[in-house]
Structure 1
């Protein structure tokens, strides 16, 4: 059964994150269909995104996107579109004060 949903929406912190923004639930496959950042700050901010295997971490080997978001603007993170997460996979994100919204679908095989 496919469920369309917002996989994540939140304000990002600075540095390499230790806590995932999204974890694909057990027996659930996720697909990212859209990802957008909004930077309300006074300066450009770099947003980094990592997708790691279950039990993994945000490292150079799991980074999938990096993008500079100009101050006062929103921008799509097109590198994330069509990324797939298998059960237990983790999505991490960082970007000082930037709001990240990720929409997609979760599929629970029957």
Structure 2
């Protein structure tokens, strides 16, 4: 609240939150986002989990000068591919789609422990 430096404003639309929107475009004092993600690891010939999987997600988010300003919600969804390099370390490719926006991401991370994500467009 009050005077907030630009770099400290709430941000939605990044490699982590609402993938497909350019990083830094949507900023304001208040923000809220909801994302549901589903992951599936394929089985190998021995019926054990393989190192290959897929992911899909749906989400939405909004920002504003106050909570009352949450009127324009940004939709978001996408699909991705995961390959487990070692336990709890995945290499992935994600493609996200939003309102008049899309993005392709390469990431080297686990869902709750991020090492590096790169936005292509």
TM-score, scaled relative to structure 2:
0.27
Q: Which has the higher strand share?
A: 2
Q: Give TM-score, length-normalised by structure 1.
A: 0.28
Larger Rg: 2
